[in-house]
């Protein structure tokens, strides 16, 4: 049985402390402001929550790296920093709003072959141009079967900090935590060539749990409809 209280990511404790200290000042100024500060502090703790996840571990499965809404599933050129061939791949874009869990998780077992950080703009992460122009952190993974997978953390309109705890050459497992983005953002996953997506636009994804592709299955790309 899971505990009632959800853990807070270690990167969030200092922000919770800052909000709490500011709340003390607000109480001293005027009681109604103090209650607003209590709500803001509670929201800060909620934003940095880090709940456990149960990850499917069969070989070939690729899971979502983020909580949020699948914004688009389309063909797109991968960022050059990934070092992939300049041919379109299936890109699954997942948009995180300020109420989603923002801890990011590895999509598949593999080895980190390349990491690159690029400064950029801060357009709304829900816009397609955010993939090209926004500040981003790219992660290239070599999978056990020799194929490559790309994960890109993209800063959003109010996001001003991308955290990635990986190192080149590091072996990783699907579902492991690897970073987060503050506050509101997007992750793009560039599937290996030939992989068919198993999610559709407007679907809700759960980091470390939702399967977005299965490299061992011949199943065609899924279709979906709102019901």
Ranges of the chain whose pLDDT falls below 70:
1-5, 121-131, 157-160, 184
Residues 72 and 29 reside in one and the same domain: no
Both 20 and 82 in a single domain?
no
Count of beta carbons in the 10 Å neighbourhood of residue 121: 12
- The residue from 64, 93, 131, 185 that is catalytic is 185
Residue (of 150, 149, 119) closest to 134 by Cα position: 119
Whether residue 2 is contained in a domain is answered as no
Residue 39 is given by DSSP the state H
DSSP state of 6: P
Same domain, 42 and 87: no
The range of the structural domain enclosing residue 24 comes to 10-47
pLDDT at residue number 94: 96
Residue 202 tokens read as 């407007």
Give, as one character, the DSSP assignment of residue 122: -
How many angstroms separate the CA atoms of 65 and 21, rounded?
33
How many structural domains comprise the chain?
2
Task: Measure CA of the first residue to CA of the last residue in the chain; give whole Å.
Answer: 32
Burial class (CB in 10 A: 0-12, 13-18, 19+), 60: middle
Q: Give the whole-angstrom CA distance, residue 181 versus residue 155.
A: 7
What's the DSSP call for residue 96? E
Crossing angle for the helix pair 31-47 and 13-29, nearest 10 degrees? 170
185 as an active site residue: the answer is yes
Report the C-alpha gap between 163 and 75 in whole angstroms: 27
- What residues contact residue 81 under an 8 Å CB cut-off, 6+ apart? 114, 116, 118, 138
Are residues 145 and 185 located together in one domain of the fold? Answer: yes
pTM: 0.89
Instruction: Identify whether 183 is preceded by a cis peptide bond (ω within 30 of 0).
Output: yes
Q: Is the domain of 43 the same as that of 78?
A: no
Closest CA to 174 of 4, 58, 23, 26: 58
Q: Are residues 187 and 122 in the same domain?
A: yes
Judge if 34 and 91 occupy the same domain. no
Predicted pLDDT of residue 218:
87
| pLDDT for position 209 | 97
Alpha helices by DSSP H, the chain: 13-29, 31-47, 130-133
Q: Within a domain: residue 4? A: no
């Amino acid at each position: 049985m899971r505990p009632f209280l959800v853990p807070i990511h270690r990167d969030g404790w200092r922000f919770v402390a800052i909000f709490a200290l500011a709340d003390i000042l607000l109480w001293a100024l005027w009681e109604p402001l103090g209650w607003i500060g209590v709500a803001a502090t509670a929201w800060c703790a909620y934003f940095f929550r880090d709940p456990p996840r149960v990850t499917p571990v069969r070989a070939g499965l690729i899971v979502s790296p983020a909580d949020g809404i699948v914004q688009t599933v389309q063909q797109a050129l991968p960022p050059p920093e990934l070092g992939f061939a300049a041919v379109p791949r299936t890109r699954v874009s997942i948009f995180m709003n300020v109420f989603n869990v923002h801890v990011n998780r590895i999509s598949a077992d593999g080895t980190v072959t390349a990491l690159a950080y690029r400064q950029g703009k801060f357009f709304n992460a829900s816009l397609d141009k955010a993939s090209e122009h926004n500040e981003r952190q790219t992660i290239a993974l070599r999978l056990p079967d020799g194929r490559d997978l790309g994960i890109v953390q993209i800063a959003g309109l109010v996001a001003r900090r991308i955290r990635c705890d990986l190192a080149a050459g590091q072996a990783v497992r699907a579902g492991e935590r690897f970073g987060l983005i503050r506050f509101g953002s997007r992750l793009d996953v560039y599937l290996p060539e030939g992989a068919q997506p198993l999610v559709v636009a407007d679907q809700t994804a759960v980091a470390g749990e939702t399967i977005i592709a299965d490299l061992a299955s011949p199943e065609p790309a899924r279709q979906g409809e709102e019901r």
